[in-house]
Amino acid sequence: MKIAVYQMELVPGSPEENREKVSRWVETQMQEDAPDIIVLPEMWTTSYVLEQLDATADESSEPTQSYLSDLAKKHQINIVGGSIANKVNGNIYNTSLIFNRNGELVYKYNKIHLVPMLNEPAYLTGGEEKVETFELDGVRMGVIICYDLRFPELARKLALDGAQVLFVVAEWPKPRTNHWVSLQIARAIENQMYVVSSNNVGTLDGVEYTGASLIVDPWGEVVAKGSENKEETIKGSLNPERVVEVRKNVPVFASRVPDLY
Ligand SMILES: O=C(O)CCC(=O)C(=O)O
């Protein structure tokens, strides 16, 4: 299962330009070594221009939901569609959309944990639904968004529900790069699953975003890592049998005693 992660430099406040960028990037990927799954970063249509979100957010995920669905169908690829600002009944959610090769929306997730350091609760509404897994090409997976990475309970719940791959879509700032990298490796090791992340690059309102998008295997080895300052594509492949092998060698899930904690 081949993965291509778009470590994207976003055009702030311009969904149309960002959708065009993604279309061009996907065309290039298909001409090279066509991936099975592509991954986009958090809030990739608008970036973090929170004061403008009322004007730039999608309404009930449109038009980006239709755009990504058409893109998946056209290229017959699975899409982990990062996340978008998504207005529903006047509330703006940070919503991740996942599509299979037929362009069907297989999962929609609203970011649960809003970031106090970025004053997100003043502009966004946190998700109210439980996280769930989804399936792409017969493999069970999960997705979380940025700050969610700091809450190990989410990844553990998804692993217990059968996820073998965890996607983390993010706009993670540079000053906390060591947390970004270490937490992903920890999630991979403790849950014995692949962790695949897409983070953006570039600077907005004085905040530099760190890139360093990762593919970490279930043993905690970093198999691919983006640079910390430029737009690029991170590629790797996932082998679900590796998850089974690691879980057999170190049987963490069989050793749990959840009644005691
Ligand atoms: O947790 C962090 O340090 C960064 C979180 C963040 O930037 C986000 O969730 O958008």
Q: Which pLDDT does position 32 carry in this prediction?
A: 86
Quickly tell me which residue has 């529900």 as its tokens: 161
Identify the DSSP state of 173. Answer: B
Rounded to whole angstroms, the Cα distance separating 88 from 164 reads 31
Residue numbers of the domain that contains 102: 2-260
Rounded to whole angstroms, the Cα distance separating 87 from 53 reads 9
CA-angle at 60, arms to 58 and 65, nearest 5° = 70
Task: Using most ligand atoms within 8 A of CB, pick from 48, 147, 148, 198 the residue to mutate for ligand 1.
Answer: 147
**146 a catalytic residue:** yes
- Residue 137 sits in a domain whose CATH number is 3.60.110.10
Identify the DSSP state of 7. Answer: E
CA of 20 to the centre of ligand 1 (A): 26
CB 239, CB 218: distance < 8 Å: no
**108 a catalytic residue:** no
Rounded to whole angstroms, the Cα distance separating 69 from 79 reads 9
- How many other C-beta atoms lie within 10 A of the C-beta of residue 252? 13
Q: Which pLDDT does position 153 carry in this prediction?
A: 97
**111 a catalytic residue:** yes
Q: Which pLDDT does position 200 carry in this prediction?
A: 97
Rounded to whole angstroms, the Cα distance separating 15 from 178 reads 30
Q: What burial class does residue 249 get, using C-beta atoms within 10 Å of its C-beta: 0-12 exposed, 13-18 middle, 19+ buried?
A: exposed
Determine if ligand 1 sits within 6 Å of the CB of residue 115.
yes
Identify the DSSP state of 33. Answer: S
Determine if ligand 1 sits within 6 Å of the CB of residue 248.
no
Q: Which pLDDT does position 219 carry in this prediction?
A: 98
Rounded to whole angstroms, the Cα distance separating 145 from 93 reads 12
Identify the DSSP state of 150. Answer: G
Torsion, Cα 166 98 223 10, to 10 degrees, reads -120
Length, in residues, of the chain: 261
Q: Which pLDDT does position 92 carry in this prediction?
A: 98
Q: Which pLDDT does position 229 carry in this prediction?
A: 85
As a whole-number percent, the residues of the chain with pLDDT over 90 amount to 98
Task: State the total domains in the chain.
Answer: 1
Q: Which pLDDT does position 109 carry in this prediction?
A: 98
Quickly tell me which residue has 């976003």 as its tokens: 10
Determine if ligand 1 sits within 6 Å of the CB of residue 171.
yes
pLDDT digits (tens, 9 = 90+) for 117-153: 989 999 999 999 999 999 999 999 999 999 999 999 9
Q: Which residues of the chain have pLDDT under 50?
A: none
Does the reported pTM lie above 0.90?
A: yes
Determine if ligand 1 sits within 6 Å of the CB of residue 182.
no
Residue closest by Cα to atom 9 of ligand 1 = 147
CA distances from 95 to 43, 84, 116 (A): 8, 5, 18
